Structure 1
Amino acid sequence: MTKIWKESGFVNDDPWVVESEETKAGSNEKAIVGLDLFLEQAAAGGSGLGVLISPADDVASLAPHLDRISLVAVAFPAFNDGRAFSHASLLRTRLGFEGEIRAVGDVLIDQIPLMLRCGIDSFAVTNATAIKRLGEGRLPGIENHYQPTAKPSANTSSYSWRRVS
């Protein structure tokens, strides 16, 4: 079971579906398609689209189409594959994408605070422990940051170089 979570809590009426050979978006749903299919649809003038960025994809190829993208899903195929962190950070900081970035795949509770800092703002969570802890409001925190990111800490004294000994 997949649940969509944002900082405001779980989302019950999310219309987005990651399409695959087995799964297609229904009439009341919106499709998230792979990069190649997305580029074809964007070239044909499509807008309000959702795109899935896999770890090996070149996220910079989205630059000419950012105004037509409603959602970018960044794939975490395994907990130890962090390339989607870089994709999200590049989308926010270098490409200036202001739309929704969603983490999909192996989304674990301990990584969510780091994902938030990289600019990811929604999460397709399947891990039972993560769903339980998010439902209880038990998101782990990060006390000290070593560098600013796409979403810097509200507490500027939490950065390691600004701490007072």
Structure 2
Amino acid sequence: MTKIWNEAGFLADDPWIVETEETKAGSNEKAILGLDAFLAKVAESDEKDLGVLIAPADDVRRLEGHQGRLALVAVAFPAFSDGRAFSHASLLRSRLGFTGEVRAVGDVLIDQIPLMLRCGIDSFAVSNATALKRLAENRLPGIDNHYQPAARPSQDVGSYSWRRRA
């Protein structure tokens, strides 16, 4: 079972569905399209508030100029060892200026969520049992030291997000 989590907690009624050949969005749901399908839809209609899925091998820069049409960008983590979606999220926030929702989908593990938050991901499709339990208990691991800038500013007001704190 997959649940959607953000820093406010678990969402009860999330309308977004990642569309596949087998799964299509229903009447009360919103489709998250693959990048090519999204670009084709943008070319043929003026529809706004769309969702797009960025796979690890996709070039997120192809979304440039379409940020105003997007409500949600889902970045795929097909395996915990594939970190390309961290870069996709960071590029969306820093270079493309995307301010909408960025969602992690796929293999979302509890120890990676703080790092995903720092890269600009703000919601998570979580199916891992341990992650679901820890999030329900509000037991998110912390990161004490930061070595580089991030999409999210440092919580310590007087510090630099990229400078080590002891």
Instruction: Name 1:107's counterpart in structure 2.
Output: 108
**Cα separation, partners in 2 of 1:22 and 1:10, compared to 1, 3 Å:** same
Distance 1:104 1:7 in 2: 16
Following superposition of structure 1 onto structure 2, how do residues 48-59 of structure 1 map, counting pairs within 5 Å?
Answer: 48-59=49-60
Deviations 1:18-60 (A, max 9, x none): 0111111110000001000000001112211100000000000
SS state at 1:81 partner: coil
Amino acid of the structure 2 residue aligned with 1:56: A
Long gaps (5+) in structure 2 = none
Instruction: Give the length in aligned residue pairs.
Output: 164
The answer (yes or no) to whether the contact 1:144–1:158 under 8 Å persists in 2 is no
Shift of 1:163: 3.8
Match of 2:82 in 1: 81
TM-score of the superposition, structure 1-length normalised? 0.95
Identity of aligned residues (%): 73
Bigger share in helix: 1
The residue number in structure 2 matching 1:68 is: 69
Give me the whole-angstrom Cα distance separating, in 2, the residues matched to 1:83 and 1:108. 15
Unaligned runs of 5+ in 1: none
Q: 2:40: which partner in 1?
A: 40
Secondary structure class of the residue paired with 2:131: helix
Partner secondary structure for residue 81 of structure 2: coil
Query: After the TM superposition, which segments of 4 or more aligned residues of structure 1 sit over 4 Å from their partners?
Result: none
Offset, 1:161: 3.1
Q: What is the aligned partner in structure 1 of residue 23 from structure 2?
A: 23
